Structure formats: C-alpha cells, structure tokens
Amino acid sequence: MGRFAKMLEPLMDRRAKLERTKRLHQFLRDVEDEKLWIAEKLPAAQSTAYGTSLLGVQMLQKKNKSLQNEVKTHTHTYTYV
C-alpha cells in the first residue's frame, strides 16, 4: 500500500499540471482564432465602398447588417477569451 500511495501523489500533481497546460494551450489557440477572425472581417468593416447604384447600396447594406449581427454573436466568444 505504501508504494501505491507514493505513486498516487505524483500522478495527481502531474494531472493538475497537465490540466493547467491544456487550459493555457486552449487559451492561446482561442486567441489565435480570434485574431484570424478579426483579420478576416476587418476589411469589410473598414470598407469605403458605398455602391454605385440603388441595388449596389442595398446589397452593401445587407452585407453590413450581416456583419453587424455576426460581430454581436461573436462578442460572447471574444469576451470569453
């Protein structure tokens, strides 16, 4: 029983360290995902195109509204990270 107890404590410590390391790597991955998402969406958000016709403006308005909704729903992920 003594040998088993001697093994159990280091195993529990190792498990805790592995869990902390896993959380760190998950956080770093989430941050990288957010950076990629922002880089993908930023050009559309910064666009200075305003359309050259009524149809063009309406299409850009729909795209803008869609992007706004996507940002709102993505805010939860961003806040979590």
Confidence band for 80, pLDDT divided at 50, 70 and 90: low
| Domain range for 12 | 2-80
Question: Which residue, 44, 39, 32, is CA-closest to 77?
Answer: 32
Nearest to 44 by CA among 69, 59, 64, 70: 64
Chain segment 4-37, per-residue pLDDT in tens: 888 899 999 999 999 999 999 999 999 999 999 9
pLDDT greater than 90 at residue 3: no
Q: How many CB atoms lie within 10 A of CB 71?
A: 14
- Count: domains in the chain: 1
> Whole-prediction pTM value?
0.74
